Structure 1
Amino acid sequence: MASAVAIMNYQEPVMPSIDIIIAVTGGIAAFKAASLTSLLVQNDHSVQAVMTQSAQKFLGAATLMALTGRPVATELFDPAMPLGAHIELARDAKLLCVAPATANFLANAANGQADDLLSTLYLCFTGPVIVAPAMNVEMWNQPSVQRNIKILRDDGVHIVDPQEGWLSCRQKGMGRMADPETIAKTIAEHLK
């Protein structure tokens, strides 16, 4: 009988509301998402991390879980979120930041394609969206990528432009993700 009483009195721990969703896509710049997340948490923001399958090849979910104090959302169909992870996360957060944002994510977002947790979350989200692209210089310079960036800007997405510098492909050029400090400052401005 005591175990039945304990079960009836059990309540799920209440997590603080989410200020910011940091969504990480699969590029070498994913490691910078850990620094960005740490900066945001140190500034007393409640952060929820979302990672694509490709992002998990570059950065372990355990890193972001330790920094945020929350499980990292990686699956569209999560039994802990019966309405759907994309819907529940979109309703709970004040701001969505995709950093790094790959060319694949930019194409999905610009074209309204929803085939994973992040792309469906993006389409459900009604608050401010900040995107920090990162990719090879040749990819960044492609007319299709620039067209997608323009579409997203026209849709009201704030783009934190990449920087010129040393890229992981061992060349210099435009495509390096903006510094975490720059992205954090942009987030703070949009949360005011």
Structure 2
Amino acid sequence: MSDTAPRQNGPRILVGATGSIAVTTLPTYLAALRAHLGGTCTVLMTHSATAFLPAATVAIHADRVISGESPADWPTDKPSRLAAEHDLCVVLPATAHILAAAATGAAPNRLATVILSARYPTVFFPSMGAAMWEKPAVRRNITQLRADGHHIPDPVWHDAYDVATKSISHHPTMPTPADVAKIIGELLSQQA
């Protein structure tokens, strides 16, 4: 294990945070993961995720936070090293963009490159608008990711007020923090 790897007992979870408004709930999910699973949580934030939630805020709830794409960080935050230092990669929330990148083997950012570098499946928790979720391209990407061995639990549908349209919208989002922790715990026990 490297000097930057978490050294506590329990699972080493790498949480990929993407640019969805749902990322603002990430601290609650991190608290649930830690309470139910123990171990350590490293959060890898995409550039767009930090537009919704500052990395400094996430750092209060995680063992380590990585954000940005600077090549200067690669000696310690190289994608293959990050993948190897963790037991599971969880994308929370998973946008249509990261699903497409992972399904096609693209690497437009460090998170997508980590997913490609990992020798274990990634767990994606989608959150997006209903119109996006229902697009044939998104459905194809989900089918491909599942065929490739990744895990994509079905999202939970809920109503939320949409400020732009001034109406209630019904859209898919992530399960509750407790349910996410349970799903991840079950997947980790299958890996053991």
TM-score by length of 2: 0.85
The alpha carbon displacement at 1:98 in A equals: 0.2
Is 1:69 the counterpart of 2:63 in the alignment? yes
The alpha carbon displacement at 1:108 in A equals: 0.5
- Deviations along 1:25-45, one digit per CA (max 9) or x if unpaired, are 000110222111111222312
- Deviations along 1:129-174, one digit per CA (max 9) or x if unpaired, are 1100000010111110001000001011111211111145343324
Corresponding residue to 1:32 among 25, 38, 48 = 25
Q: What pairs up with 1:128-147 in 2 under 5 angstroms?
A: 128-147=121-140
**C-alpha contact (below 8 Å) 2:6/2:12 kept by paired residues:** no
**C-alpha contact (below 8 Å) 1:75/1:85 kept by paired residues:** no
1:173 — aligned with what?
Answer: 170
The alpha carbon displacement at 1:20 in A equals: 0.3
The alpha carbon displacement at 1:80 in A equals: 4.9
Corresponding residue to 1:96 among 79, 89, 112 = 89
Corresponding residue to 1:59 among 49, 53, 61 = 53
Gaps of at least 5 residues in structure 2 are none
Corresponding residue to 2:145 among 116, 127, 152 = 152
The alpha carbon displacement at 1:102 in A equals: 0.3
Q: What is the CA–CA distance in structure 1 between the aligned matches of 2:114 and 2:5, rounded to whole Å?
A: 22
1:8 — aligned with what?
Answer: none
- Deviations along 1:79-103, one digit per CA (max 9) or x if unpaired, are 4541752111101000000010000
Gaps of at least 5 residues in structure 1 are 1-11
Q: What is the CA–CA distance in structure 2 between the aligned matches of 1:20 and 1:86, rounded to whole Å?
A: 14
Report the RMSD for the aligned CA atoms in angstroms: 2.0
Q: What is the CA–CA distance in structure 2 between the aligned matches of 1:180 and 1:14, rounded to whole Å?
A: 25
1:16 — aligned with what?
Answer: 7
Q: What is the CA–CA distance in structure 1 between the aligned matches of 2:73 and 2:161, rounded to whole Å?
A: 37
- Change over 3 Å in CA distance of 1:73–1:14 after alignment to 2: closer
Count matched residues: 180
Q: What is the CA–CA distance in structure 2 between the aligned matches of 1:109 and 1:13, rounded to whole Å?
A: 26
Stretch deviating more after TM superposition (17-26 or 151-160) = 17-26
- Change over 3 Å in CA distance of 1:39–1:112 after alignment to 2: same
Is 1:86 the counterpart of 2:100 in the alignment? no
